[in-house]
Amino acid sequence: MAPEYLPFLHLRTTVFRGHHPRWAFDPLSGEGASRHGGRFNQPGRPALYTALRMETAWLEAQQGFAFKAQPLTLCSYHIDCSGILDLTAPATLAALGVGPADLSCAWEDLADRGIAPPSWLLAERLIGQGAAGIVVPSFAFRAGAEDRNLVLWRWGADLPHRITVVDDHARLPRDDRSWR
């Protein structure tokens, strides 16, 4: 049963994301998440995974191998987005009837066995209720309580879901020609 009131936030901040350098020319696409799925999106559902701290973006991008660091392109983004739910707030989780186990489920294992992960079901429910994104704990190896992510399902160049990559000096590649 859906709650009558969802405690949506308007988020204006800077977030961070570590990209595989191959995809640095398209830092706003969400295509990788759409192709492969993620904790909060099933395959076919675009999502943009970002972190609220640069250190968290590093942890997430290294996928638990912080001492065997792989090359990455770290970007920052300006966010001005409505329709965000903070799933790190116990009151929001309670209002949604969601427990921490729904967020931290072994989503890859469940998906591999043909079982819809609770985090996917939650994401689809929230999208259906108008959510543009969620703030969630990081589940990366060695993440602490201060490590949180912003996952977006609706984003673009315009309000109310505006996100812009910070590239004041045009350092990001404009296309993928360097990879041919």
What are the C-alpha distances in Å from 170 to residues 20, 128, 174?
Answer: 18, 37, 9
The tens digit of pLDDT for each residue in 124-170 reads 999 999 999 999 999 998 899 999 999 999 999 999 999 999 999 99
Three-class DSSP category at 53 = coil
CB-neighbour burial class of residue 28 (10 A; exposed 0-12, middle 13-18, buried 19+): middle
Cα 141 from Cα 109, distance rounded (Å):
17
- Write out the two tokens for 145: 């309580």
Q: What is the DSSP letter of 95?
A: H
Domain ranges in the chain? 9-168
The tens digit of pLDDT for each residue in 69-94 reads 788 899 999 999 999 999 999 999 99
Helix (H) or strand (E) holding 74: strand 73-86
Quick one: pLDDT at residue 3?
45
Beta carbons of 33 and 46 less than 8 angstroms apart: yes
What dihedral do alpha carbons 159, 163, 169, 171 form, nearest 10°? Answer: -140
Quick one: pLDDT at residue 33?
87
Q: What is the DSSP letter of 46?
A: -
Number of H helices, E strands in the chain: 6, 6
Percent of the chain with pLDDT strictly greater than 70: 94
